[in-house]
Structure 1
Amino acid sequence: MTGSISSTQKMDRLSLAVNAIPPSGIRRFFDMAEKMENVISLGVGEPDFPTPWNVREASIASIERGDTAYTANAGLEPLRIEIAKYMEQIFHVSYDPLSEIIVTVGASEGLDIAIRAIINPGDEVIVVEPGFVSYAPIVTLAGGKVIPLKTKKEHAFKLTKEAVEAAITPRTKAIMISFPNNPTGAVMTKEELLPIAEVIDDHDLLVISDEIYGELSYDTTHYSFSRLPRMKDRTILISGFSKAFAMTGWRLGFVCAPSDILSAMLKIHQYTMMSAPTIAQYGALEALQNGREDVDKMVTSYRQRRNFIVESFQEIGLDCHVPGGAFYAFPSIEATGMSSEEFAEALLKEEQVAVVPGNVFGSGGEGHIRCSYAASLDDLQTAIQRMDRFLNRK
């Protein structure tokens, strides 16, 4: 006997955890923009630079050599050695490439397996908001409970010791942070991070520190959380090649963590991914060995674009703090009286400029929009002109 399946039956056959999480708000606006013509997208966080040619060439050479088999689960040993050198030279943190580093399928996989390796059902994870859209869902999918911690515009979207302490309960297992931050561009200095580290130590917590934008710091040098006193053994550091090396489509990230945690993560990685793409690993090896000049050029360009877009927002009446890192501006649209969703939808429909509503990054992002300045100056100038025209009609 055949028949249609009811909507209730369809819901029943799905995971409750999956049903509980929304689809990505970023992708929704990106998909809307793709169906329209003449759109300038400031939505998706992706460098407008192509991957440097020497990186592409190294990857092509690996294919021609026939290096197309699986690598070790943790990644090519020469790549892990180069990652260890990179972390030491650029961020001044030391990791054993054989026991404390794993190469992952993007930083996204690293975040996912980090949470799954440490969380038991009911454990609480403090998730800083505004924050990247995947943080809360991956905690939910792992059976954990998300405790949002809202950063405030008046604090330049930085964490405070008092706010962290207020969010901690006896069930708290970890805190998930990201500086430079997506979507706000906020950065925190060593002096600002030290009080946070004291709270972490006092309450015996773990830290998942997403530092994918660490290279993209414009006014001060990025200070890695694991570099703080007593924090290396508490920190799972997530990073990768997508942003600073313009390698988003290569899907290659890495994790640096204490060996016991990394060993647990490796078990999950073995059963779900086996290993990261081989040809991408050879490309990343080249990026680390011979890519500094390209990174420096991109950072210089992003700094120029940041300065332009922040000044322009102020000129057209959108209050915007100066982002210290990443490649996002997070202007306030509260003065318009519109919600972030209403503003973003109207701007896209009326002026063909795609931005991301701040509420998709958590309720702490409401009243703002995220605008990526990883776009050409010409596109940024045109987008500002269109936004100015849009605001003058409201």
Structure 2
Amino acid sequence: MSFFTSLSGLQAAQTDMSTISHNLSNVSTNGFKKSVTQFADVIASTANSNPTQMVGSGTVVKAVRQQFSQGGFTQSSSALDVAISGDGFFIVKGDEKSGNGVAFTRNGSFQVNAERYVTDAQGNKLQVYPVDGSGAVVATGLGSTVSLRLPQTSGTPEATENVKMSLNLNATSAIPSQAARFDDTDYAFDRFDPGTYNQSAQTTIYDANGNALTLTNYFVRESKPTTDDATSTWKVYSFIGDQQLNSGTDPEVSTPITMTFDSTGKLSTPSTPTTFSGFLAPGATSEQVIKLDFGNSTTQVSSPFSLNSSSQDGSAVGQIEGVTIGEDGTVMASFSNGDSQALGKVVLATFSNAAGLRQL
């Protein structure tokens, strides 16, 4: 009997040492909760009810229980590393092929797999509640959760229709057509010859497929104020790639825009946006209408040329650039076109007896 009593103590001590070793080996494991071994003494069965005459028969391991006290937080550089402050578990779901079902974890170190799902180190997919465009949850309950997947793109492409520019043209600029020439050719605008224009400005626009195109405007001074005419005129030659845009009504002749400034340097014409006709984007089968508006803030004063602002209403499909998870669990994705999109809200599961969960 005494041998069994001693042996039970050794066996219990071995279990305790195994538990301690397990705790030590996981000291750097994210979300790990240590376990403690609980013991109970063994009392020999006897008909004698006198407690002073009862003899113990050793010890037995009653339970190995996890301690779910709050651990410390460590900052990381990954946007998908999250931690839970307080009670709760992340919900993860295994792949259907693997046969793994729903599991719960405190380990908030997640990553993205080849199929763009957010997973834990074992490949289980993080579960979130679905949300609408404003980030509001649209369904709750364990049966409503979905696996968090990062989209590659966002939005639909929009062809540019309206371009707005605000600039200043130097009032002291020379007239290129009056510049001295050293051959017998007459002056002619040539976008490849900087001597035939004064300034140029570029704006990125988009076709119907979201492809980026470059709109380049070349500004050529035509006249200066005189005693009889205080106005100044400029021509604006507009190109997208190798196509010159036509501001006129004759499809056979590409007409540049004529800009007129009064004696104070205020833009007189055009007073409304100029509509270009006949532009075909590469690969397109129908014309893309583009309107160029110089607005009321375009001037001609005696200061260097400056492009003060430039905007357009087209957009490309956005490529995903980053992901953030807010304090409330809302997952937001940001895209190269400036869009942001709510992807879901991280679900936390709580249990009345967390110690009753089985470790996997």
TM-score by length of 1: 0.18
Q: Which has the larger radius of gyration?
A: 2
TM-score by length of 2: 0.19
